Structure formats: C-alpha cells, structure tokens
C-alpha cells in the first residue's frame, strides 16, 4: 500500500510540474473575462502572425461579439477559419467562405477531421475558441485532440481560449475509453464525464498524449473558479450544437446520449432534447417509479408524453411524428446530479421493463461508452452497482492524473 501511495504521489507531482511548465496566460483583473477577452486585450503581441481560428457560433465574447469580428476589428491578420461539426454557424452549412469577412473556411468534419500540413503552411498561430459541454462523446473534444496533434506535427503555435464549464467542473464519471473503441465520438483518453474546461483538457492532452510537443498557450479566464455557476456569469446562451437548446440540455446530455445507441428516443425533435426520453411502447409510470427508487440526488424523473416533430439537425429524430411515452429528467441540483450514473440506470430500467428495448445492431453504444462492457453488462442483467464498480479503479487513476492539469481552484 505504501508503494502504491508513493506511485500515485509521484504521478500527481509529475503532472503538476507538467501543468506549471505549460505556457499559461492570466490577467490580473478581478472582473470575470472569458479567455478570448483576455487574448484580445493583449492582441498587439500577435499582430505579426498569420492567424487561423478554429471556432463556431459559440466563439463569442461576453457582449455577443464573435471572435472573428473582434480579431479583424482589432487589426489581426486572420487568414483562415476552421470549423467543427455543425459548421461555422452551427446550422450544418459547411460553406467555404465567411460571408461577413470573406475569410476562407476549412471544414474539419464530413471526411476531414484534422488540419493538414498544407492547411497550416500559411499559418503562424492557430486560435481555438469553442464552447463544449464536458462530455467525451461531444465531437468538439475530438476536434481539439486533432488540432493539438496537427499543431505538434507542423510546429504551429496554438492558443486555446478557455471557456467556463456548463456542467459541474468537479464531476468525473464513467468508463475510460478503451483501445479499439476510438472514434470521432470517443477519441480523448478520458471517462465519459472528464470534469475539465477546454483549456485544462488541452493541457492534459498535450502532455499525456502528445508529449508536450505542441507549442500550447492556454489563455485562462479571469475570476473563474470551480465553484462558479455557469448561470451566474450572465453570458448569452448560444446553442453549442443544434439540439443543445439550453444549459439544462447539457446537464442531461451525459445521461441520455447513451440512448443514441438504442431504439429509444433521446428527445431529439422536441423542445427538450436529452431532457426527454421514451418510446411509444414505454410505460412512463413504471420507469419513473423504478428510477426514482434509486434516490439519486439532484434529480427527479417525471412521467411525460412527447412527440418528436421537428428535424432539428442532420440526425433524424426517432419516432418522427409519433407520440412517445417517457420521462422528463428534472435536474434540481447541478452539483449533486450524476448524469452518467443516471444514464446507466435508465438503460437498466429500459432493459428490465421494456421487451422492445434493444441496442442498435451496429453496437454504436460501444463507441459512446468507450467499451463493450456497458452493453454486455446491461444485457446480462448486471446491477447499477456492479456496472459502476467496473469503472471505479480506472476512474480513480484518471482523477489522480487529472488533478495535475486543473487550472482553477
């Protein structure tokens, strides 16, 4: 046991040193500022650079100004824009030119996921500014992974403008990504809920995956802590993706995204995607009683009826224009809510009470879970405690390493 403690202590120390050595920028103002606002306050030092920006509709300042417009307005030489899944404006429009500025756009989706050598040949500095939701299977984490890799391979300086976490920054949970299950919805070596801002995640990936080979500068937010509630910041809500309607959607996404690997609706096509789930053959009352019996903190499960009637994104909703019986996930306390654990309980309850329930034949659930263990354990009738215990050891190891990359107290 003593040797194990020494090893863990050494890991934490090494990771802390790595994070300290990571180039990090922080201003001294006490007023809250986003990472992009801190960057813009010091943009003169970068004006000699040919700049590319990887962003989308979420790359805005506190006043709603888009980072592209702000950079151009301050005289920065922006030569290129990279866009992630859902396009530069989040509307699935993968245009090749920004209408407002005329700057060319390179899509990092639909066949191309990483900036190429030729893409970066005329770029000195790459700026990343995208709001994510703290979930491994949200594809912006994969885009960040590939961006760091491309920066390292091409000796291109990379700035990540940090942004606040919508979900609980202290929360980590779920299976680690196992080798053999990597995909664009699961690329970073982390659990489903990894509990890091995009800047912290960038520092972690650069050190743990890429040997600190990328010239990375994380621009920290001012006056942000791990206790800061996203809702307290007064930021304009811009949907990070077409079905991410509200901050409450993000809270439930870590629970109900697993349903994308099943024949159950995760609420797409309704006014509350990921907050609703169900199917025409579900008994709402039975599921609600089953799930509420767990006594999960910070959430109640309420019977609901909904009809997926809108095609909101490229993903067609299940049971289109068909009435579904299901559940509304009512998050009553963000800091206590454990969405991944609740998501597993939902799968167990569906398997137990709905003969029609099944995982999709392509086993897409394995990519979302990062392993085939979840599917196999649910199918075999394992309890929630048995499934959770299967990831706890790996999660503890991850948390020990993660501690060295946390940039906010």
Sheet holding 216-219, edge to edge: 23-25, 216-219, 157-161, 125-129, 50-55, 77-83, 105-107
CA dist., res. 264 & res. 284, Å (int): 13
pLDDT of residue 136: 98
Q: Do 231 and 271 fall into the same domain? A: no
Q: Rounded to whole angstroms, what are the CA distances from 144 to 69, 188, 241, 245?
A: 22, 9, 16, 22
Give the CA radius of gyration of the chain: 21
Q: Do 362 and 264 fall into the same domain? A: yes
Phi/psi at 382 (5° precision): -65, 150
CA dist., res. 289 & res. 361, Å (int): 29
End-to-end CA distance of the chain: 29
Q: Residue 106 falls within a domain, yes or no? A: yes
DSSP string, 238-280: --SSTT--SHHHHHHHHHHGGGGGBSSB-STTSSSTTTEEEET
Residues 6+ apart with CB under 8 A from 387: 344, 348, 373, 374, 377, 378
In the 8-state DSSP scheme, what is residue 183? Answer: B
pLDDT of residue 30: 63
Q: Do 331 and 195 fall into the same domain? A: no
Q: Do 167 and 266 fall into the same domain? A: no
CATH number of the domain that residue 260 is part of: 3.90.1150.140
Q: Residue 145 falls within a domain, yes or no? A: yes
Q: Do 162 and 291 fall into the same domain? A: no
- pLDDT by position in tens, the chain (length 409): 333 333 333 333 333 333 333 444 444 446 999 999 999 999 999 999 999 999 999 999 999 999 999 999 999 999 999 999 988 876 777 789 998 899 999 999 988 999 999 999 999 999 999 999 999 999 999 999 999 999 999 999 999 999 999 999 999 999 999 999 999 999 999 999 999 999 999 999 999 999 999 999 999 999 999 999 999 999 999 999 999 999 999 999 999 999 999 999 999 999 999 999 999 999 999 999 999 999 999 999 999 999 999 988 767 899 999 999 999 999 999 999 999 999 999 999 999 999 999 999 999 999 999 999 999 999 999 999 999 999 999 999 999 999 999 999 9
Q: Residue 241 falls within a domain, yes or no? A: no
Q: Do 256 and 148 fall into the same domain? A: no
pLDDT of residue 25: 43
Q: Residue 385 falls within a domain, yes or no? A: no
Q: Do 165 and 264 fall into the same domain? A: no
Q: Which of 356, 360, 139 is nearest to 261 (CA)?
A: 360
Tell me if 295 sits within 8 A of 367, measured CB to CB: no
Q: Residue 313 falls within a domain, yes or no? A: yes
Supply the range of the domain harboring residue 105: 2-235+397-405
- Domains contained in the chain, number: 2
Q: Residue 358 falls within a domain, yes or no? A: yes
Q: Do 361 and 228 fall into the same domain? A: no
Where do we find the tokens 């990343």? 128
Give the pTM: 0.91
Q: Residue 282 falls within a domain, yes or no? A: yes
Q: Do 80 and 204 fall into the same domain? A: yes
Q: Which of 247, 252, 257 is nearest to 275 (CA)?
A: 252
Q: What angle do CA 243, 84, 90 make, to 5 degrees?
A: 40
Q: Do 231 and 257 fall into the same domain? A: no
Q: Residue 392 falls within a domain, yes or no? A: no
CATH number of the domain that residue 103 is part of: 3.40.50.12170
Sign of CA dihedral 12, 15, 20, 26: negative
Q: Do 83 and 203 fall into the same domain? A: yes
CA dist., res. 130 & res. 118, Å (int): 23
Q: How many CB atoms sit inside 10 A of residue 366's CB?
A: 21
Q: Which of 188, 222, 186, 183 is nearest to 202 (CA)?
A: 188
pLDDT of residue 89: 74
Long-range contacts of 386-391 (CB under 8 A, 24+ apart): 387/344, 387/348, 388/341, 388/344, 390/175, 391/173, 391/174, 391/175, 391/176, 391/191
DSSP string, 83-150: E-TTBTTSSSB--SB-TTT--BEEESSTT--S--TTTTTT-SEEEEE----SBTTSTHHHHHHHHHHH
Q: Do 81 and 179 fall into the same domain? A: yes
């Amino acid at each position: 046991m003593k040797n194990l403690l020494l090893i863990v202590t050494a890991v934490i120390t090494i990771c802390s040193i790595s994070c300290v050595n990571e180039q990090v920028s922080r201003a001294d103002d006490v007023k809250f500022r986003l990472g992009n606002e801190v960057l813009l306050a010091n943009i003169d030092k970068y004006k000699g650079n040919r700049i590319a920006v990887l962003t989308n509709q979420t790359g805005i300042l506190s006043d709603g100004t888009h980072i592209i417009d702000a950079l151009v307005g301050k005289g920065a030489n922006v030569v290129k824009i990279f866009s992630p899944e859902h396009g530069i404006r989040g509307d699935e429009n993968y245009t090749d030119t920004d209408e407002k500025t005329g700057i060319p756009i390179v899509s990092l989706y639909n066949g191309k996921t990483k900036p190429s050598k030729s893409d970066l040949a005329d770029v000195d500095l790459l700026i990343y500014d995208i709001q994510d939701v703290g979930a491994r299977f949200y594809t912006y984490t994969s885009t960040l992974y590939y961006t760091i890799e491309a920066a390292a391979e091409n000796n291109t300086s990379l700035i990540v403008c940090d942004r606040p976490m919508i979900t609980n920054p202290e929360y980590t949970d779920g299976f680690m990504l196992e080798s053999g299950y990597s995909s664009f919805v699961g690329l970073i070596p982390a659990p489903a809920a990894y509990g890091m801002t995009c800047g912290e995640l960038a520092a972690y990936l650069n050190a743990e995956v890429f040997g600190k080979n990328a010239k990375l500068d994380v621009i920290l937010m001012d006056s942000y802590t791990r206790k800061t509630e996203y809702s307290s910041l007064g930021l304009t809500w811009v949907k990070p993706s077409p079905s991410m309607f509200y901050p409450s959607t993000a809270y439930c996404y870590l629970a109900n995204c697993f349903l994308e690997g099943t024949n159950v609706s995760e609420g797409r096509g309704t006014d509350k995607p990921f907050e609703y789930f169900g199917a025409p053959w579900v008994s709402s009352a039975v599921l609600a009683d089953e799930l509420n019996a767990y006594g999960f903190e910070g959430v109640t499960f309420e019977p609901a009826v909904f009809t997926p009637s809108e095609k909101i994104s490229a993903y067609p909703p299940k049971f289109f224009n068909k009435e579904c019986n299901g559940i509304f996930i009512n998050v009553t306390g963000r800091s206590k809510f454990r969405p991944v654990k609740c998501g597993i309980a939902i799968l167990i309850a569906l398997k137990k009470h709905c003969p029609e329930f099944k995982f999709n034949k392509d086993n897409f659930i394995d990519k979302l879970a990062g392993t085939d263990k979840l599917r196999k354990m649910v199918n075999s009738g394992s309890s929630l405690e048995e499934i959770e215990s299967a990831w706890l050891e790996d999660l503890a190891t991850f948390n020990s390493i993660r501690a060295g990359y946390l940039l906010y107290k």
